[in-house]
Amino acid sequence: SLFNLRTYKTSEEIKVPEKIIDQIIGQEEAVETVKKAAKQKRNVLLIGEPGIGKSMLAKGMAELLPSEELQDVLVYPNIEDNHNPLVGVMPAGEGKKIVTNYKTKAKSQEEKKNMFTMILITFILVVGFILGQFLAAIIAAGIVFLALQQMKPKTSIMVPKLLVNNENNVIAPFVDATGSHAGALLGDVRHDPYQSGGLGTPAHERVEAGMIHKANKGVLYIDEIGTMKMKTQQELLTAMQEKKYSITGQSETSSGAMVRSQEVPCDFVLVASGNLQVLEGMHIALRSRIRGYGYEVYMKDSMPDNPENRDKLVQFVAQEVEKDGRIPHFSREAIAEIIKE
């Protein structure tokens, strides 16, 4: 229906569907289930061998989720408790504006401080010159300069950090977290090499978002989920249930382990996948959670040889050439060879 398959000369003439979900061939049931799951924002477990379209299905699902819900997340310093940074959530695109405002304020404060320093030093030097104590005045000016550099004004403006930025994103996020370790998945607080002597990096600046937070309002995809550590799977389950998750240092020995942020939103749809062997290593509660509230899909690994499916293979070749962007389009004869193969 998309093109006249009987008369095309090369794959260039074949119209490729715009949505990823419509580009998946031979998995009609899985596609229908994923479309339904996207509408209901339910989790999905895809069961099947590698190379049969699992990650493509997950990407296709992200395109189906509503993008108008996307959010930015900021992390602010907490004046009362430095180790518990505050979190602010706002509509996508607002985060950057707020950070820019703070930066402008901080810059003008810094300029005022520099101006004051210059005036004070000039005054000391002039007085010294008048009194004929020029050397003493230079030493005094140096001491005053160093003292002022060390002094932080009480109301020093600390710029918040943009933790998750969804500015200009037109589709819901798709995050592939396959094989990621706990810190990358759940977020982390970087170690601070300058933690002593008042030189420390403010705690909020060391907070790093995890993939679960970047996937907020979108899809978190984990292939071979059974190979992930049990403890990490347990935390993932908690994050799924609560839809928000605090960020703390993942290494017990690091100075980051002292810091714990307020809860950061992570309202994602989980698309987990694996073959039957991998699923044996999957956390029982996590699997039953998906079973109870979402969908378990057994993927097909073959499709019948009929004219309709042969037409789909033609479309598939055209898609792959277009996606690759470097190889030339296939002639009709070349596609016939592929279908035969």
The pLDDT value given to residue 46: 95
- 219-223/269-274 β-pairing: parallel
- Reported in sequence order, the residue ranges of the chain that DSSP labels E, i.e. its strands, are 44-47, 71-76, 86-91, 161-164, 174-176, 188-189, 207-208, 219-223, 244-248, 260-265, 269-274, 295-298
Taking only the tens place, the pLDDT of each residue in 180-197 is 889 999 999 988 776 554
Whether 307 shows a pLDDT value over 50: the answer reads: yes
Residue with tokens 């389950």: 237
Cβ atoms of 180 and 211 within 8 Å: the answer is: yes
Q: What is the pTM of this model?
A: 0.83
Q: How far apart are the first and last CA of the chain?
A: 25
Taking only the tens place, the pLDDT of each residue in 284-304 is 999 999 988 999 999 998 999
229-241 mean pLDDT: 94
CA 321 – CA 11 distance, rounded (Å): 8
For residue 184, the tally of other CB atoms under 10 A from its CB is 15
CA 58 – CA 36 distance, rounded (Å): 13
